Amino acid sequence: MRTRADEILARHRFLDPLLPGARVLELGAVLATGAESARALQDRGAASVVSVDRDPEALRRAAQEGGGPGLHFREAAGEGQADAAFDLVLVHDPSWLFDEPGLFALQRLLAPGGHLFLALAGGGPELGQLLGDEEALPEDPPSYERVSGLLAAAFASVEVAVQRAIVGYALSPVDQAAATLSVEELSTESETPGQILFLCGASASGLLQQKLVLSRLPPLIAAARDARFRAVERAEAAAEDEFAAKQAAWEQERAAAAKAEAAAKDELAAKEAAWEQERAAAVERAVAEAEARWDVERSALRALAAGQAPPRDESESDEALMRRVREAEERAEAARLHAKEAEARMRAAERRADAAEAERARSALAARRYRGELEALQRSTEGIAASIAGRR
């Protein structure tokens, strides 16, 4: 969750009695406040401030801007610090208790009589959320039970306060220096605090005064409006990126489909050419074989039909002649069978050609479907671009 600068600065008002002359260690406020929190602690009387953050770029900017004597910006909490070096340790993010440096290292840095102050998200709305700032949505913090138990085991005194964000009106009499301040809430519903504050030490702090810290509303509303605008821009950019990715994927799919269609056409053409060659060769062979056989057989059959003996050599016996006649009849029958087989192969080739033609038709239908999807995608792209241009 993004911690707002005004939430941190409001806590300084609550801690005012502990600040004059104190040596302060502050964790997790450089990035959130642009180092403004550390300078504000000095302005409210702290003798020295060491402000620690995990963001190197935020620390670099803070060091460039400078802080003057007694103000230091560091990336490690205990770096170069002796035991009991601080009177007040401010922890604006509870993760510092569980990660580096850890609670017991922070406790070691506290001077006798010093206090550790911790802010924990309580689950209620904070000011950024009340103003519609989407970047202020909470993350999952450690539980109250876990944090309070850890602090109770480490400190003799653990005082608890709450910090709540309110939006309302301030009504003040003019020229009435002694006028008292009363706070009235229009809502009668109970509300979970936005932050739970722990003040820990060897003894009670004595901070019993309730504080009402007012922030100027127009700048906060402007900041929330800017945050919403940035969120809309991020959402639009993400939508554009997603759309571009889908469009690229569709383009790749369309190109793959076109390539597949071209390959199918080439394969079909090659198969048709091969089948045509095979059919022509088969028919040609069958016809040539049949004609060659029938040239021999016709003469023999004609002679038999006329009651004449087929042509024979003088040395050929009757048995040999009849065998030659039978062989001629068998060759004639084989020629007919070859002709039938050639016709069957030709019909099979025609069936394969028909199947290839059907496959080509399916490929053409798929290509038309991809082209239709691409045109719909292009129309959708133009609509989104026009919508984005209208918003800007």
Say what the alpha-carbon torsion angle 224, 226, 227, 230 is, to the nearest 10 degrees: 160
| Domain membership flag for residue 61 | yes
In eight-state DSSP terms, residue 17 is G
pLDDT confidence bin for 318, thresholds 50/70/90: low
The verdict on 268 and 201 lying in the same domain is no
| Domain membership flag for residue 175 | no
The verdict on 204 and 255 lying in the same domain is no
Q: Which residue has the tokens 């490690």?
A: 76
| Domain membership flag for residue 31 | yes
The verdict on 208 and 59 lying in the same domain is yes
The verdict on 195 and 283 lying in the same domain is no
| Domain membership flag for residue 72 | yes
* CATH, residue 69: 3.40.50.150
- Give CB contacts under 8 A, 24+ apart, made by 282-289: 282/342, 282/345, 282/346, 283/342, 283/346, 285/342, 286/338, 286/339, 286/341, 286/342, 289/335, 289/338
Q: Residue 218 pLDDT > 70, yes or no?
A: no
The verdict on 10 and 155 lying in the same domain is yes
> Which residues, in sequence order, are CB contacts of 13 under 8 Å at separation 6+?
211, 213
Q: Residue 130 pLDDT > 60, yes or no?
A: no
C-alpha–C-alpha distance, residues 160 and 15, integer Å: 13
Domain extent, residue 339, equals 237-391
Name which of 90, 141, 146 is nearest 118 in CA terms: 90
The verdict on 207 and 245 lying in the same domain is no
Q: Residue 264 pLDDT > 60, yes or no?
A: yes
The verdict on 155 and 21 lying in the same domain is yes
> Do the beta carbons of residue 121 and residue 138 sit within 8 Å?
yes
* pTM score: 0.52
The verdict on 349 and 200 lying in the same domain is no
Q: How far is CA 261 from CA 202, 279, 370, in A?
A: 82, 26, 11
The verdict on 17 and 162 lying in the same domain is yes
Tell me which amino acid residue 48 is: S
Pairing of strands 48-52, 86-91: unpaired
| Domain membership flag for residue 286 | yes
Q: Residue 365 pLDDT > 80, yes or no?
A: yes
Mean pLDDT of 146-156: 93
Q: What is the total count of domains within the chain?
A: 2
Q: How far is CA 345 from CA 267, 318, 341, in A?
A: 20, 40, 6
C-alpha–C-alpha distance, residues 158 and 103, integer Å: 14
Sign of CA dihedral 54, 205, 113, 44: positive
The verdict on 107 and 244 lying in the same domain is no
| Domain membership flag for residue 232 | no
Q: Which of 78-82, 83-87, 323-327, 355-359 has the lowest mean pLDDT?
A: 78-82
| Domain membership flag for residue 221 | no
Name which of 173, 201, 239, 167 is nearest 15 in CA terms: 201
Residue positions counted in the chain: 392
The verdict on 162 and 310 lying in the same domain is no
DSSP reduced 3-state for 296: helix
Give me the pLDDT at residue 52, please.
92
Name which of 68, 6, 12, 78 is nearest 40 in CA terms: 12
| Domain membership flag for residue 321 | yes
Q: Residue 101 pLDDT > 50, yes or no?
A: yes
Name which of 343, 350, 345, 340 is nearest 271 in CA terms: 350
Q: Rounded to an integer, what is the distance from CA 140 to the centroid of its chain? A: 21
Name which of 27, 29, 131 is nearest 79 in CA terms: 27
Angle at 258 between CA 268 and CA 354, to 5 degrees: 25
The verdict on 124 and 63 lying in the same domain is yes
Mean pLDDT of 133-155: 76
b/e per residue 243-274 (b: at least 16 CB within 10 A): eeeeeeebeeebeebeeebeebeeebeebbee
- pLDDT (tens digit per residue) in 175-202: 766 667 676 666 555 566 778 999 999 9
C-alpha–C-alpha distance, residues 220 and 66, integer Å: 27
Q: Residue 341 pLDDT > 90, yes or no?
A: no
Share of the chain above pLDDT 90, in %: 21
Secondary element (H or E) of residue 84: none
